[in-house]
Amino acid sequence: MSETKEFTYSDVSEHTSKKDVYMVIHDKVYNTSSFVDEHPGGEEVLLDVGGQDATEAFEDVGHSDEAREILEGLLIGNLKREAGDPAPKTSTTSSSAPKSSTDAAGLGIGVYAIVLVGAALAFFAYQYLQSNQQKS
């Protein structure tokens, strides 16, 4: 296990079918064939990035710690970069990941505030209508 197998982009790009799909995430090569049917997002998600660098797609979704553990179990080697290979896409995703989680937290608080204000308005409207009905 001390020796790690190396794959080129050419090697990875040959594995794009449902029963044989490899992908690159953070310069590591994963054989996701056994996980295609179990993937919560559906098989299309994996097949769309099969045989390619899926780092950006993986990070944009914001996978859980459990998903990252499953991914480690699918690791089969490292990517050996060669001249002409696409540049890694990790620099743009690392700066956008905290922003998206901050935006999601801000949206959650905003929705909570709207629900709270709506509930308060409904309560006061109910009280108002009850008091008017008793006067009649």
**Per-residue pLDDT in tens (0 to 9) along the chain, 136 residues:** 456 799 998 899 999 998 999 999 999 999 999 999 989 888 898 999 999 999 998 988 889 899 999 999 999 999 988 777 777 664 443 444 444 455 555 667 778 888 899 999 999 999 999 988 887 7
Q: What is the CATH superfamily name and number for domain 5-80?
A: Cytochrome b5-like heme/steroid binding domain (3.10.120.10)
* Structural domain spans, the chain: 5-80, 99-135
Residue 95's pLDDT is 43
Give residue for tokens 């905290």.
98
Of 87, 82, 72, 90, which is closest to residue 30 (Cα–Cα)? 72
Structure tokens at 94: 């690392």
Nearest-angstrom CA–CA distance, 109 and 81? 43
Residue 129's pLDDT is 92
Residue 105's pLDDT is 58
